[in-house]
Amino acid sequence: SSLLASQDFVVEDGQTVDARISSENLNRIYLQDDRIASIKALEGQFQYQHDAKLGELYLKPNTGYKDKSINLY
């Protein structure tokens, strides 16, 4: 069993980032010194909670997507 810890990326607006996420546990996505305002993705790929106050996203892939790529915008 492998454990993935924090992954940090420096990106420019509009840039694509590839990151590995857990297929079994909740994943936290956040922006340093900024907020995630909204989420756009194909319906049914994952379960998520958006904390609008903190601007963070918590997600977990659904069963059919555990070994597939998930795209967020």
Residue 69 has pLDDT above 70, yes or no: yes
Residue 60: its pLDDT value, please? 94
**How far is it, in rounded angstroms, from Cα 9 to Cα 46?**
22
| Backbone torsions φ then ψ of 4, nearest 5 degrees | -100, 135
CA dist list (Å): 29 to 1, 73: 22, 12
pTM of the model: 0.81
Q: Establish how many alpha carbons lie within 13 A of residue 33's alpha carbon, considering only the half-sphere containing its beta carbon.
A: 2
Residue 3's nearest CA partner among 25, 18, 29 is 25
Q: What is the pLDDT of residue 4?
A: 62
35-48: per-residue pLDDT in tens? 999 999 999 999 99
